Homo-oligomer: A and B are copies of this chain.
C-alpha cells in the first residue's frame, strides 16, 4: 500500500447519519483505523421480508489489515448488532464496558464466534492505545446501564463522541454522567464534538429515570390484581425499578419474553440487576400465586406481534390469562412507525377488562436521550472547535447544527454529513473531502446481501396484486399441453372461475395469433402472452398481477 502522506485524521460514518440506527463510525489516522460502534437497523415497510439491515462494510473489508479494534459505547442493537457480521469478515478486538460486553457475548455465542474473538472489558476513565489512537472512556447516562462516551485522540486531533446520552443527576446505579471529565477534556482542547441528536427537537430536559420508579410505587399502591409491566428488555434500570416496586409491595417477579429473560440473566450475573433472593419466580409457576402476589415484567412494549404482552392481549399467552381488573403498564413510548401496533395491543387489553396505563395518560416512561438544555450543557463544557451532529434523522442533525450556532459556534465550523462522507480533520479545519462506499446490506434468513432491489421490487409487486402464471408445453411450435393458468394472491379462484376460464381463452387466442404470425422466438411469444393477459386482467379487475408465462418444449 502507498505511503500515507496525509497526516490528518479522517472520520467516515458508515451508518447513523440521517437515521436513528446502524451506528458505525470509522476513525482513520495514517495506517491505523478504529471503529466506534457497529450496529444494525430494522427494516422499513418497503423492505419486504427482510430481518435486519446492516451498514455496508465494504470500506472496512477493503482495509481490514489496518483495523486496530472496535470500540463500543453501549449495548443497544443499533450499536452492537452488526458486530457478529463484522467478525465473520475479520477478526478484530472488541473493547466495551462490562454489561455491553456481556450483551455482545450473547450475540457472539449465537453466531458461534466466542472462541476466536478477542474481547477486552474496559471501565469509564480507562484509556487504551490502538495503533496511533488513544481512546478514553467517559461515563454517560442512557436508557441502558454502563454507557460511555469516547474521546478519540491522535497526533492530528482530539474528537469527543458522546455516544447516546442524557444527563441524569439521580441515576439508579448512582453513576452520574462524568460532567467534570467533559469539562476537563474541554479545557484541554477538543477539535471536534460529535453529539447525539435524537431529542434535539424537544425543549427542556429529559427527566431522571428515578421519576419513573416513583410513579411505579404510586401505581402499585393498593392494587389487588395482577400487575404486568412491559418495557424494553435492555433497560436494566427500568427493570430494577419494577423489581424494587414489586418487593416494596410484597410481590414476586416473573420475567416473560425471550429477550427479557436473556438480558435479565446477563445483567444479574454481571451485577447490574439486583433481585433479592426468593423474589424471582418462573413464569410457569405463576398460577401457584395469588394475583396480588405477582408482577410480570414482559416484552412487547412496541406491540411486536410475537412478544409476550401482545400474546397476552389476544389470550394466546400460555402461562396465564389477563383478566378484568389486571393492571398493565406500558413503560415505553411507541417508536415512530409502531404506534398503530401499540394501540392495537392497548385496545385488546381494554377489551379483556384490564386497566391500562400508557404514556399518553401517565408519566411511566422517560427517554434515554438529552433534550435541548442538556445538549447546551455538553456543547458548553466540551467547547469544541468544530461540530458534527450524529444519531439523528436529517432534520434533527440540521436542528442540532442550529443549536450549536445559537451557542456561538461559527456556521463554517459545523458540518452535517451523510453515511459515507469522508471528513478530514486537523487542528484548523473540518471538511468533507469525498465519499467512501456506503449503503445498506439486507439480511434475510441466512442470506446476507442476496436480496437487492429487483427482489424487493418483485416482492412489492407480488404483495399488491399477486401472481398470474400461464404454462404451455410446445412441440415444434404447436401447443401439446395447456395452456394452464394458475394464480396466487390475485383473486379467490373458486369464486372467479369464469374469469380464469376467460383468461385461458385469451392465452389460447394469443397462441393462435403467434402461430399465424409464425412467431417462433420464445421471448416474443412470452411477451405476446404477457401483454394480452395484462390488458385482459386490467380491464376486468383494474389490477396488475405479476404475469409469468412459462413455455416448455417436448
Q: Interface stretch among A219-227, A282-290, A376-384, A489-497?
A: A489-497
Q: A447-B491, A488-B548, A546-B488 in contact; A340/B343 too (CB < 8 A)?
A: no
A2 at the interface (CB under 8 A from B): no
Asked if A350 is at the interface of the complex by the 8 Å CB criterion, the answer is yes
* A248 interface contact, C-beta 8 A: no
- Hey, what's the 0/1 contact readout for A327-361 against B, CB within 8 Å counting as 1? 00000000011011001001110110000100011
Produce 1/0 per residue, A289-318, CB < 8 A to B: 000000000000000000000000000000
The residue of chain B having its C-beta at the shortest distance from the C-beta of A461 within the complex is B489
* Distance A553 CA – B337 CA, assembled complex (angstroms): 50
Find A481's partner among B48, B49, B451, B553 (CB 8 Å cutoff).
B553
Whole-angstrom distance from the CB of A12 to the nearest CB of chain B? 20
Contacts known (A350-B398, A464-B49, A484-B550); A343 close to B447, Cβ less than 8 A:
no
| Minimum Cβ distance to chain B for residue A549 (Å) | 11
CB-CB under 8 A from A49, the residues of chain B are 463-466, 489, 543
CB of A481 within 8 A of CB of B473, answer yes
| Minimum CB distance partner of A356 in chain B | B395
A489/B450 in contact, CB under 8 A: no
Whether a CB of chain B sits under 8 angstroms from the CB of A201 is: yes
**Known contacts A18-B347, A340-B44, A495-B450; is-contact A462 B445 (Cβ 8 Å):** no
Query: In the complex, what distance in Å separates the CA atom of A486 from the CA atom of B445?
Result: 20
Q: How far is the CB of A93 from chain B (nearest CB, A)?
A: 29
User: Chain B contacts of A548 at CB under 8 A?
Assistant: 469, 486, 488
Residues of B contacting A467 in the complex (Cβ-Cβ under 8 angstroms):
462, 467, 488
CA distance A14 to B201 in the complex (A): 42
Q: Is the CB of A490 within 8 A of B455?
A: yes
Q: When the two chains form their complex, are residues B340 and A492 in contact, meaning their CB atoms are under 8 A apart? A: no
A450 near B552 with CB under 8 A, answer: no
A475 at the interface (CB under 8 A from B): yes
Q: Give 1 or 0 for each of A442-473: 1 = CB within 8 Å of chain B CB.
A: 00111100111011101111111111010101
Would B455 and A491 count as touching, CB distance under 8 A?
yes
Inter-subunit contact A337/B336 (CB<8 Å): no
Question: Which residues of the other chain, B, contact A475 by a CB distance below 8 angstroms?
Answer: 554
Q: A4 at the A/B interface (Cβ < 8 Å)?
A: no
Considering the chains assembled together, what is the distance between the CA atoms of A191 and B553 in angstroms? 76
Contact B488 A393 (CB under 8 A): no
User: Would you call A447 and B543 a contact (CB within 8 A)?
Assistant: yes
Nearest-neighbour CB distance to chain B for A45, whole angstroms, equals 7
Residues of chain B contacted by A394 (CB below 8 angstroms):
347-348, 350-351
Main DSSP-derived SS at the A contact region: mixed
Q: Which residue of B lies closest to A49 (CB)?
A: B464
Q: Could you tell me the distance between the alpha carbons of A254 and B445 in the complex, rounded to whole angstroms? A: 50
State which of B201, B351, B465, B488 has its C-beta within 8 Å of the C-beta of A361: B201
Q: 1/0 per residue A111-127: CB within 8 Å of B? A: 00000000000000000
What residues on B are CB-neighbors of A491 within 8 Å? Answer: 447, 450-451, 455
CA distance A465 to B447 in the complex (A): 12
Q: Is A542 an interface residue (CB 8 A)?
A: yes
Interface assignment of A271: CB less than 8 Å from any CB of chain B = no
Cα separation A403 to B284 with both chains bound (whole Å) = 38
Partner of A395, one of B347, B444, B552: B347
A428 at the interface (CB under 8 A from B): no
Q: How far is the CB of A113 from chain B (nearest CB, A)?
A: 18
Chain B residue numbers with a CB within 8 Å of A410 are: none
Given A336-B339, A394-B350, A447-B541, CB of A552 within 8 Å of CB of B463: no
Instruction: Please name all residues of chain B whose beta carbon is closer than 8 Å to the beta carbon of A465 when the two chains form the complex.
Output: 49, 444-445
Bitwise interface map of A from 482 to 523 toward B, beta carbon under 8 Å scored 1, else 0: 101010111110011000000000000000000000000000
Q: CB within 8 Å of B: which residues of A?
A: 18, 44-45, 48-49, 201, 336-337, 339-340, 343, 346-348, 350-351, 356, 360-361, 393-395, 398, 444-447, 450-452, 454-456, 458-467, 469, 471, 473, 475, 480-482, 484, 486, 488-492, 495-496, 540-543, 546, 548, 550, 552-554
A-B contact pairs, 7 of them (CB 8 A): A44-B340, A350-B395, A445-B541, A447-B541, A454-B492, A473-B473, A488-B546
Having A454-B492, A461-B489, one finds 12 other A-B pairs with CB under 8 Å, namely A49-B466, A201-B361, A343-B395, A346-B395, A347-B393, A356-B395, A446-B540, A450-B541, A456-B489, A463-B463, A488-B546, A488-B548
